[in-house]
Amino acid sequence: MYKPIKRFLDILIALVALVILLPVFFLVSIILLFTGEHEILYRQKRVGYRNRPFYIWKFATMIKNSPHMGTGEITLRNDPRVTPVGRVLRKTKINELPQIINVLIGDMSIVGPRPLMEVSYNLFDEKTKKNIYSVRPGITGIGSLVFRDEEKMLSAAQDPKAMYQAIYPYKASLENWYICNMSFSTDVIIIGMTAWAIIFPESQHKIEVMFKDLPARNSFDVV
């Protein structure tokens, strides 16, 4: 019953956000046009709703052809592929704002499982692959909150690619938890905690305080 309401709220929130953030879109677009690779938007193929591919929109933060360079789909702290302006956009999450367009056209939701590149999607078990995108992927979500410092964690690992693969069972359990617990109140809490994390990035708020039935963590530190 919540899904139709969720879609209506997605459109409403996205429209309001787009109007409010138009000055930010304009300013960032001008800056990107005259810096870095001189490109404003970046489109990348992701797995989406009902496992259908779509193109996600972001502000351009990396040099061209970056997915085929260095650590590939894994972005590390101080990654040389990220432009100076891109570092600021990524740290503040402003680079994610164009996904509001994805929400309006129906590719994404405000809250949901994070849409992945196929190479990352294939790290999930078969059950999760069938289940994860029974709902629209989100700009934010429980997985995005828990792994908000993923770049830092991967950068500290001796083998970032091995760590990247190791965290996927836990990511799968988190996304499956969301699908089972999706509700208006869950989405409101996730949106509120996402805003808090952006405004106070150094805060150590504990997600388990708000969601006491989250899956148990693996042995690695995910927060």
- Kindly give, in sequence order, each residue whose CB lies less than 8 Å from that of residue 116, ignoring residues fewer than 6 positions away: 46, 47
Q: Which tens digit of pLDDT belongs to each residue from 79-101?
A: 889 999 999 999 899 999 999 99
Specify the pLDDT at position 222. 44
Q: What is the share, in percent, of the chain residues with pLDDT greater than 90? A: 68
Specify the pLDDT at position 77. 80
Specify the pLDDT at position 218. 63
Specify the pLDDT at position 219. 54
Specify the pLDDT at position 223. 42
Where do the DSSP E strands lie in 1-157? 41-47, 53-59, 109-111, 138-140
Specify the pLDDT at position 160. 87
In this structure, are residues 165 and 72 in contact, taking their beta carbons and an 8 Å threshold? Answer: no
Specify the pLDDT at position 74. 82
Query: Quick check: 10 pLDDT over 50?
Result: yes
DSSP 214: P
Instruction: For tokens 């964690």, name the residue.
Output: 153
43-75 burial: b if 16+ Cβ within 10 Å, else e: eeebbbbeeeebebbbbbbbbeebbeeebeebb
Q: Which tens digit of pLDDT belongs to each residue from 149-198?
A: 888 888 888 888 899 999 999 999 999 999 999 999 999 999 999 999 88
Q: What is the share, in percent, of the chain residues with pLDDT greater than 70? A: 96
Specify the pLDDT at position 5. 94
Q: Where are the domains of the chain?
A: 2-210
In this structure, are residues 46 and 117 in contact, taking their beta carbons and an 8 Å threshold? Answer: yes
Rounded to whole angstroms, how far apart are CA atoms 24 and 146? 27
Specify the range with the lowest mean pLDDT, choosing from 116-120, 133-137, 189-193, 216-220.
216-220
Query: Quick check: 220 pLDDT over 60?
Result: no
Tell which residue, 187, 195, 192, 98, has the closest CA to residue 135: 187
Query: Quick check: 144 pLDDT over 80?
Result: yes
Report pTM.
Answer: 0.89
Rounded to whole angstroms, how far apart are CA atoms 16 and 20? 6
Residue-averaged pLDDT of the chain: 91
Main-chain phi, psi angles of 42, to 5 degrees: -125, 130
